[in-house]
A and B are shown apart, each in its own frame.
Chain A
Amino acid sequence: MISLPQILDAKILIVDDLPANVLLLERMLSNAGHTAVSSTLDPRKVCELHGKNRYDLILLDLMMPGMDGFTVLEGLKAIDPEDYVPVLVITAQPEQKLRALKAGARDFISKPFDLVEVRTRIHNMLEVRLLYRALAEQSLRLDQALRERTAELRESEKRSR
C-alpha cells in the first residue's frame, strides 16, 4: 500500500495564470504537508517541465492567456501516449467539466472550491497515481520472472528429450 510520506513527497505542479490562485494552492498544499510542490504561471512551459520532471500530479487551470488548458492536455498526452496523464483540472467554468474529462483530465474541481474537498481529492488522486506506478513496476517484475521461468522450462524440456 501507499504510505502517507510517499504521498506527501509526490511531485506536484500548479498551473494557473493568476498569482493569487497559485499562492492559494501552494499554501494549502504546504499546510497539508506536501514537500515537492512547484508552480508556473506560463501554460506554455508545462509540457517541457513535465517531460523533465514527470510530475505525479498537475493542477491545471483551463482559461489562460497564451495557451488554454485543453491544448496543454493534448501536449501532455503526446509526451508519452501510453502513460497515465495525472491532471486535475481546477477551473471557474463548471460547464467545461465534460470537455475536460473527455480531453483526458482525471478529475475536475470548480472554483471557488472547498479547501477540504480539494485536499482530499488531491490525496486520492496521488494514491491512485502511486498505486498505478507500483502496479506497473510489479507487473514488469512478474513478466521478467515469467520469462525466466519459461526459459528454464524450455531448457529442461530440451534436456528431457
Chain B
Amino acid sequence: MMEGVTEPRRQEALLKAGALRKAILNSANFSIIATDEKGIIQLFNLGAERMLGYTAAEVVNRNNPSDMHDPQEVMARARSLSRELSTSITPGFEALAYKASRGIEDSYDLTYIRKDGSRFPALVSITALRDDHDEIIGYLLIGADNSMRKQVETELTAAKAAAEKANLAKSDFLSSMSHELRSPLNAILGFAQLMESDTTPQTPTQKESTAQILQAGWYLLDLINEILDLALIESGKLLLSLEAMALDEVMLDCQAMIEPQARQYGITMQFGPIDKPCFIHADRTRVKQILVNLLSNAIKYNRPGGAVEVECAVKSAERIRVSIKDTGLGLSPEKLAQLFQPFNRLGQEASGQEGTGIGLVMTKRLVDLMGGVIGVESTAGAGSVFWVELLRAGEPQLDAGALEGAAVEPAHARRELAPRTVLYVEDNPANLRLVEQLIARRPGMRLISAGDAMRGIELAREHQPEVILMDINLPGLSGLKALKILREDRRTRHIPVVAVSANAMPHDIHSGLEAGFFRYLTKPIKVDSFMQTLDVALDVVPVAARDAKPEGASR
C-alpha cells in the first residue's frame, strides 16, 4: 500500500526538479538530438557534441540530422522503406523519421559523419514527440557509437574462420599421422602375433608378456581409428545416406554381433519385441555403429552377472526410441554432465575395461547428424538407461496397381530362352526384397545379390550378369567407386550398371549419369520406370557379347 502512494510522488519529484532532463542532456555516452517536426535540430546534448564534433550552437536551428549521415546510406534507406511500405519516401529527414511519424518503433544502423569528415557506425533510435493533442511537434534521436560492437563482430568472424581453418589443418595432420603410427604398430603387433603362435613353447611369463603387448597394441590401433573417425565427422567430411530402413532387422544384426561379448561377460541380454513393420529414416551402417556402441557399453560397465534390456517404443508420430537399460553402478549427476566429452572415461581408466572414451562422443555426433536425440537417465547404484530417438519413416513399398502392370511381360521377352541374370548390389534388405518381388514377376529372369560393393564386383566377374543394379551408398566401397572398377575391368566393362539410390537431388543424379551409370533410379522405387529401365538395359547388352560363345563353338 505504501509503495502505491510513494511511487507517483517520487516520479513527480524527479520530473519537477529537472534532474532527469539535466542528466539526459549531459550524458556523455549517448548522443541525444531533438528536432522540430521538420527535422531542424533544436537540442544537441553533450554526448552529441562529443561524438559528432559539432557544438550545439553550430547546429541548433540550422542543421538536420540527416545531413550528418552518409548520403548514400540515407538514399538506400529511403529506397528500401519505399519498397517496404509501398509509398514514395524522399531521401532526407523523411527517410529517418517516416516510421516514427507513423507511430512505429524504429531504430537504424547508419554511419554518422563527424565535422572533421571522419566516420563511425551508429545505432540510432528515433521517437516522435507529441503535444497534449497528440500532434507531432518533433523527434527525439538517441544514438550510440556502434564501433566497438562492429569491431567485435569483425573480430569474431575472423576468429571463427581461423578456427575452422585450424580444424581442417588438424584433420589433415591426423590423417598423415595415421600412416606414421600404423607402420611401427604393424611391426609391434606382427611380431607379437608371431611369438604368440610360435611352435617353440614360451614360458608362462613370456606368454603373459606377449599377451600384454598384443592387448596394448590392438588398443592403440582402436584409438587411432576412432580418433580418425571423429576427425572425419568434426571436419564435416562424413557423408550419411539417409533412407527408410527396417529397425527390427538392424536390431537383429546388432543382437548377433553383441551376444558373444555378453556371454564372455556373463551378462543376460533381453531384447523386447518390436512392433513390425518398424521403419526409420537413417543411415544403416551408422545406426548399427550407434547401437553396437551403446550395447557394448551396457555390457562392459555392468555388474557381474548383470542384465541388459533393450526396448523399442514409438514415442510420437515422428520418433521412435530405443532404450538400453543396464544394471551397472549408475552415474552420479556430476558424471552425467561429463558423459559426452572426448577421452573422459569417468574414472573407468582404473577399472581394467578397455575403452577409448571416444565411443560415446562419436555416437552422439552420429545421432545428431541423423536428426535424432540421445540421452541418458541414471540412478547411482541401480543402473543407467541410454536411449536414442530416431526419425520414423514409412515402409518403402510398391502400390498394388503398379504391380499388376508389371506382371505383363514385354513381347520380346518370349524369345529369350536362357534365364537372364540381374545383379543387385544393395545393403538394405528391405529394398532387396522389393526388387526380388519385381524380378519374380518376370519369367526368364534371375536375381543375384550382394550386400557390399566388393562382393558385388566379384559376383559380376564370376556370373557375368546382363544388368547390374547398384545402390550408391554402400558400406565401405561406394557404388560410384564400384562402377569405376567395373568399367576398368574388361570382364565387366560391357555390363550396363543402373544406379538405384536414395540420393535424389538433381546434382546427385547428374553426377551419377556423368560417372557412367546407364540410368539413375531414385528410391522409393517406382515400378514403371524400374521395369522400363530394366527392359532398355537388357536390350542394350551387345548381342555379340552374349552370343559369341555358343556361335563360336558350333562352327
Residues of A within 8 A of B (CB): 18, 20-21, 24, 27-28, 31, 63, 92-95, 97-98, 101-102, 110-115
Contact = CB atoms under 8 A, between A and B. Distances in A.
B477 A98 contact: yes
Interface string B175-209: 10011001101111111011001110000000000
Main secondary structure of the interface of A (DSSP, over half): helix
Contacts of B510: none
B485 A112 contact: no
A28 B189 CA distance: 13
B219 to A, nearest CB: 12
Contact of B217 (A20, A63, A112): A112
B488 interface: yes
Interface string B478-494: 00010011001000000
B194 A112 contact: no
Contacts of B194: 24, 27-28, 31, 115
Interface in B207-233: 217, 221
A31 B193 contact: no
Given A24-B191, A98-B481, A102-B485, A112 B179 contact: no
Contacts, number: 59
Given A21-B190, A112-B188, A112-B189, 9 more contacts: A24-B194, A93-B182, A95-B175, A101-B485, A111-B183, A112-B217, A114-B193, A115-B190, A115-B193
A42 to B, nearest CB: 18
A110 B186 CA distance: 9
* Chain B: interface size category: 20 to 34
Given A95-B175, A98-B481, A101-B485, A31 B199 contact: yes
B455 to A, nearest CB: 13
A115 B185 CA distance: 13
B488 A111 contact: no
Contacts of B189: 112-113
Contacts of A24: 186-187, 190-191, 194
Nearest to A96: B179
A18 B183 CA distance: 9
A27 B187 CA distance: 12
Contacts of B182: 92-93, 110-112
29 contacts: A18-B187, A20-B191, A21-B186, A24-B186, A24-B187, A24-B190, A24-B194, A63-B179, A92-B183, A92-B186, A93-B178, A93-B182, A95-B175, A98-B481, A101-B485, A102-B485, A110-B182, A111-B183, A111-B186, A112-B182, A112-B185, A112-B186, A112-B190, A112-B221, A113-B186, A114-B193, A115-B190, A115-B193, A115-B194
A94 B191 CA distance: 21
B224 to A, nearest CB: 10
Residue with the highest number of chain A CB atoms closer than 10 Å, among B175, B190, B197, B477: B190
Interface of B: 175, 178-179, 182-183, 185-191, 193-194, 197-199, 217, 221, 477, 481, 484-485, 488
Residue with the highest number of chain B CB atoms closer than 10 Å, among A18, A101, A113: A101
A35 to B, nearest CB: 17
Nearest to B185: A112
A113 B484 CA distance: 27
A31 B197 contact: yes
A112 B187 CA distance: 8
A121 B297 CA distance: 32
A18 B217 CA distance: 19
B146 to A, nearest CB: 48
A20 B197 contact: no
B44 to A, nearest CB: 68
A36 to B, nearest CB: 20
A21 B186 CA distance: 8
A140 B461 CA distance: 21
Contacts of B183: 18, 21, 92, 111
Contacts of A93: 178-179, 182
A93 B176 CA distance: 9
Given A98-B477, A98-B481, A101-B485, A113 B179 contact: no
